[in-house]
Structure 1
Amino acid sequence: MASVAELKAAIDAALQQIGEGQAAVQAASDKLSEAQQTLAGALEGSGHSTVDAAQASLSQAAQELEECLAATLAAVEQAQLYVSTL
């Protein structure tokens, strides 16, 4: 069985990985937002249903990335709470 120090070190490593993942998700979200703006500008005034569908899909992806970040924040909070009990 791992010692408390080893357990804390492993949790800290996992939290660092989560942080790196959060940064990647945030970068993806930023790029997605840029893509939405570019697409909106390029296709402004188009009434084609595929344009609306593309915008809706991008909006859904943005929402799912936000949900991903929220879930990772909750995971970090729970892991930190656990560490505080050790």
Structure 2
Amino acid sequence: MSLSIGKIIGEKAIKQVSDEGLNAVIGPDNNSIAVIIRHISGNLLSRFARLPLTTDGEKPWRNRDSEFDEIKYDRFEVERMWAGGWEVVFANSEP
């Protein structure tokens, strides 16, 4: 599967969810879709932000735990986080 397919699948999934649904938490110890998107975006930024891609693991600037704070995001912000993470992947991956 190409990287662009992963991005497109995520975009289509986000479009299917209502604005309210993006921030809904369905039970204890669960995260909203918006929070999961924030975490995935943070992971993509951390893993692909620097060239050459010779290091793995968390970057010192990333505060992974804060990515799971329940913050309400509007649709624009969710889509911006998703696109931003993937932008770094595409910019720093081999063609």
TM-score (norm 2): 0.35
Q: For the pair shown, which has the larger CA radius of gyration, 1 or 2?
A: 1
TM-score (norm 1): 0.37
Which has the bigger relative contact order, CA under 8 A and spacing at least 6?
1
**Higher percent of residues as helix:** 1
